[in-house]
Amino acid sequence: MKIGRFRYKNTVFTGIVRDDMVGSVGDIPIEEIIESNRILTIESLISRWVSLKDVEYLQLLRPINIICLGLNYRSHAIEGNWQVPDEPIYFEKASSCIIPNKSPIIIPKNIGRVDPEVELALIIGKTCRKVSSSNVMPYIAGYTILNDVTARSIQKSDQEKKYPWFRSKSMDTFCPIGPWMITSDEIDINEGLKIELRINGVVKQASKTDSMLFGIPKIIASITKYLTLYPGDIISTGTPEGISPINPGDVVECEIEKIGILSNSVITND
């Protein structure tokens, strides 16, 4: 089941997506649906259907934590001349930089190169800490697509000074997420999903999620060893090789098999 947040005319609602239609279940935050364990029964609340082409996409979630994996695809580490990690590497993005499907990525002037990165993101379904790798599935509500937009020139400058990545990863609009979430019962985490990023229709990144160095069970167990995760929190699992810059006027499409396409145009500040 695909669940998103939308606006139709003047009405904001959570909706269930089927083909080219979306059914409204009312203005219930997705976090509330997840936390109350109603995610698989929410379809019973559908009151009306509208065409997907007529709605505006809204921010999917307002997570407490957005935790991202760095260098979780060997090929990406190699292309950036980084050491291939032997354990998961994490960083955070600010939740304030989330934007939905179809909203523009805004690049501040004079910040140098900016790169998009397509990533499979998982959504936490209930509060968890010290979860074993053999018992992660009950804690996953679903999956979505995250574009880890990165101010690469600033990141490299900060790395040289041994500063963290936060500034380069957390500029306003640098975290497109969407277009919706798909519930965990529809994804087999052991299956390699096709993952692709296109700039102006040209494929720049293409891989499968089973090429990750560290799989989802290891990721969740590693994070929750020290950190409590809450319903609606997002864990983004890293990006494959093929990093390429974007510029104002471009359109970035991030696609993951079984989930959909996250599309954002690129503009700049005046």
> For residue range 134-192, what is the model confidence (pLDDT) as tens digits?
999 999 999 999 999 999 999 989 888 888 889 999 999 999 999 999 999 999 988 89
Half-sphere exposure of 263 (CA within 13 A, CB side): 8
**179 closest CA partner among 66, 61, 260:** 260
Per-residue model confidence as pLDDT tens digits over 23-50: 999 999 999 999 888 888 899 999 999 9
pTM of the model: 0.96
What sign for the dihedral angle of Cα 227, 233, 239, 244? negative
Element (H, E) at 18: strand 11-18
Domains in the chain (CATH in brackets) are 2-57 (no CATH), 66-268 (3.90.850.10)
Q: Which residue has the higher pLDDT, 239 or 165?
A: 239
Q: Which of 17-21, 73-77, 167-171 has the lowest mean pLDDT?
A: 73-77
Strand-pairing partners, residue 12, are 7
Confidence at residue 158, expressed as pLDDT on a 0 to 100 scale? 82
At position 150, the amino acid (one-letter code) is: T
